[in-house]
Structure 1
Amino acid sequence: MKIVIATPLYPPEVGGPAYYAFNLEQALVAQGVKVRVISYRFERKLPPGLRHILFFLRSLTVVPGSDGIIVLDTFSVGLPAGLAALIFRTPIIVRVGGDFLWEQYVARRQEATTLSSFYLAPRFFTIKEKIIFKLTKIFLHWATVIVFSTKWQADIWQQPYNISPAKIKYIENFYGHKKNTSPRPYPQDFILVWAGRDIFLKNLTLLQEAFALAQVEQPALKLQIVTNVRQAELFQVLDKASALILPSLSDISPNIVLEGLMFNLPMIVTKEMGLKDRLQDTVLYIDSLDISDIKEKILLLASRAGYEQGAKAAANFSFTHSYEAIAEEFINLFSKL
């Protein structure tokens, strides 16, 4: 079997798509699949449109002769690589890992709109955003299979993008093995870590305001903000952290939460998330729009009783989902086409 992986990022670039593409490639190769990866290079610096055209031309050189293509986004590489696959009648499996339109809209308007509410009301889109929505809808129509990591996002997308239920499949994100085997002890110095991209939807400003309120009651609390680091550096931070917080407006299948669980970190996460069915009561949930709720959950987790309960819950979470299993699931999807 010959598979092409189209991804916006690939090592040495950092980010979820880069790590996912690399590890999926390795797992597919280990199972005897011939894999070619195509990702943005010099095109990244070009304006949209021209960037897409050049990536489409590059895709035309790798898609012919392949048994299928796995596309790791719906717009930046999805559209040009999908068009190349359509021309050569190559099966397209698109893995939906985020929502580019929602991210663009929230960033532009600086508006606290959750993903679950985004498509339920009329929005004042710019011409660019209207184009993104229309072209994403067209690309999803081209796709042979649409893979979601959570049912939560699939339910949000199905109606606005007019997705046939027959096209929808689920492959969960990577859940790694534990780095630690026992619950973390209550720390002498409480260090709460936030890690991610400093963009509006990650809600960092409200977190800092809520943390300042918590510090009024417990001045010794510390907040560590981590951005733009490689995974190895992030793991060093998580190993030394006391707890993790993710107060995003919404998050679909956040890698940082799954990585935190590998280190048995007690966590506070947004209730607007696609992993609730899997995590259940493993973490503390917050209303990411409510500064008081964020503050109170920080104080709860910083207390001995709250921390020990959270540490035990994190240590008891035992689900794993390897890249080998993920590769097998993609192979099985292609074998049925």
Structure 2
Amino acid sequence: MNSKTQKVLLISGIVFPEIGGPATYVHNLQKELRRKGFTVDLISYNAFTRKLPIGIRHLALWLQLLVKGLFYDQMWAFDVFSAGVPAYFAAKILKKNFLVRIGGDSLWEAYIARTEEMILLSDFYKEKRQYTLKEKLMSWSIRQVVSGADAVVFSTQWMYDIWKQPYQICKDSVYIIENAYVPYDLRNENNNQVVEGQKIFVCPTRETFFKNKKMLIEVFEQLSKPNDDIALDTKPLSHKEHIRRIKASYAVVIPSLSEVSPNLLLDAMSVGIPYIMTKDSGYAYRFPGCGILVDPRSREDLKHAMTKILDPQIYISLKERAKHVRINRTYADVTLDFEHNFLK
């Protein structure tokens, strides 16, 4: 079969213009594949099915996929649980090639949100956990999807190393395709957001347990008493405004228990701003000398890192290294990886 005649159905839990990495990723991948001449369509939950209870909404999407999937050669899911589970079982029945991209770990997130245990993702599967019925179903479903998929795509080797044994993933089906990152060119813009005499730390994070926002705020409140020139900015902004904010900031902070491939780090590196970040990440050692890694379970470690980065000599050294980092990976590059690996 000529590669350009292959029809691909993309399945995602959320879609553009909704805010979220998977929505942006799938939107741009679809656009690039169409530009190259491929027939590509996208399916997701609608306003009604999204409100249904877990399991029932999976069933609703599965029924849709059984019909729509008839007209496509390949089915690609961009979330292992909400999109991957119904897509996998539909693809099996229809005998279609099935790919799943792993962007995070929904089971780990659900477990620590329920128990409020400070467990790193890299430690999560090292011992047996007491799952609820829902979590047992999630674990079983994820194992079925990744062990039975024709291709499993990870954004980092780190995440694959965590999942390969507990989910029995066949090495031959694994592909590492790094995320896209196209920095905004702000070099010719006036940086009028800088507040003279104030050191702004940026951490626009969700109210989710694994993001560890509560600890960050508590540590920051302690530090702000003797340091009245520091401020913490956690407001959500559009991406371009967010990049402008980072360029005007002192540093970014990523205090999450774990992060697979944090875009906030790439945002900071694109404009030469140092970081404080969890050591439990696929990007932990990607930009050495540009920031400080912390144990996110330790309040004292986070406080020490923030105190350390306020030291002028240390900060100048970190910023000097950060401003020489160059990153640029387009969605055309990502699409080319998908095309070469799966649409030959």
Q: TM-score w.r.t. structure 1 length? A: 0.93
CA distance in 1, matches of 2:235, 2:68: 37
Pick aligned residue for 1:253 from 252, 255, 261? 261
CA distance in 1, matches of 2:207, 2:7: 38
Corresponding residue for 2:239? 231
Give 1:254-293 correspondences, 5 Å limit.
254-293=262-301
**1:297 and 2:305 are equivalent in the alignment:** yes
Corresponding residue for 2:3? none
Pick aligned residue for 1:219 from 201, 209, 228? 228
Equivalent AA in structure 2 for residue 126 of structure 1: T
Equivalent AA in structure 2 for residue 194 of structure 1: C
Give 1:1-337 correspondences, 5 Å limit.
1-42=6-47, 43-177=49-183, 179-180=185-186, 188-227=197-236, 229-335=237-343
Go from structure 1 to structure 2 and tell me whether the alpha carbon gap of 1:92 and 1:82 turns closer, same or farther (over 3 Å shift): same
CA distance in 1, matches of 2:322, 2:125: 33
Equivalent AA in structure 2 for residue 66 of structure 1: Y
CA distance in 1, matches of 2:214, 2:26: 31
1:21-75 CA-partner distances (Å, limit 9, x unpaired): 1111112122222210111212111101110111112212332232312211111
The structural deviation recorded for 1:144 is 0.4
Go from structure 1 to structure 2 and tell me whether the alpha carbon gap of 1:39 and 1:231 turns closer, same or farther (over 3 Å shift): farther
Larger CA deviation: 144-153 vs 231-240: 231-240
The structural deviation recorded for 1:224 is 1.2
What secondary structure does 1:223 align onto?
A: strand
- Aligned-pair identity in percent equals 32
What secondary structure does 2:242 align onto?
A: helix
CA distance in 2, matches of 1:281, 1:62: 50
CA-based RMSD of the aligned residues comes to: 2.0
| Contact kept in structure 1, 2:251 and 2:274, CA below 8 Å | yes
Higher relative contact order (CA 8 A, sep 6+): 1
The structural deviation recorded for 1:186 is 11
**5+ unaligned residues in a row in structure 2: which ranges?**
1-5
Equivalent AA in structure 1 for residue 342 of structure 2: F
Equivalent AA in structure 1 for residue 7 of structure 2: K
The structural deviation recorded for 1:7 is 0.6
Go from structure 1 to structure 2 and tell me whether the alpha carbon gap of 1:35 and 1:335 turns closer, same or farther (over 3 Å shift): closer
1:103-152 CA-partner distances (Å, limit 9, x unpaired): 00010001101001100011111011011000110111221010111111
The structural deviation recorded for 1:233 is 4.4
The structural deviation recorded for 1:187 is 6.3
What secondary structure does 1:61 align onto?
A: helix
CA distance in 2, matches of 1:176, 1:310: 23
Equivalent AA in structure 2 for residue 210 of structure 1: V
| Contact kept in structure 2, 1:286 and 1:293, CA below 8 Å | yes
Larger CA deviation: 60-69 vs 22-31: 60-69
| Contact kept in structure 2, 1:3 and 1:36, CA below 8 Å | yes
CA distance in 2, matches of 1:187, 1:19: 34
Equivalent AA in structure 2 for residue 160 of structure 1: P
Go from structure 1 to structure 2 and tell me whether the alpha carbon gap of 1:222 and 1:277 turns closer, same or farther (over 3 Å shift): closer
The structural deviation recorded for 1:153 is 0.8
Go from structure 1 to structure 2 and tell me whether the alpha carbon gap of 1:232 and 1:47 turns closer, same or farther (over 3 Å shift): farther
| Contact kept in structure 2, 1:214 and 1:296, CA below 8 Å | no
What secondary structure does 1:176 align onto?
A: coil
| Contact kept in structure 1, 2:270 and 2:327, CA below 8 Å | no
**5+ unaligned residues in a row in structure 1: which ranges?**
none
Equivalent AA in structure 2 for residue 209 of structure 1: E
The structural deviation recorded for 1:156 is 0.5
Equivalent AA in structure 2 for residue 34 of structure 1: T
Go from structure 1 to structure 2 and tell me whether the alpha carbon gap of 1:243 and 1:284 turns closer, same or farther (over 3 Å shift): same
CA distance in 2, matches of 1:159, 1:153: 11
| Contact kept in structure 2, 1:181 and 1:315, CA below 8 Å | no
| Contact kept in structure 2, 1:105 and 1:129, CA below 8 Å | yes
Equivalent AA in structure 2 for residue 223 of structure 1: L
CA distance in 2, matches of 1:292, 1:277: 22
The structural deviation recorded for 1:334 is 1.2
State the aligned residue count: 334
Q: TM-score w.r.t. structure 2 length? A: 0.91
CA distance in 2, matches of 1:2, 1:308: 52
CA distance in 1, matches of 2:274, 2:36: 35
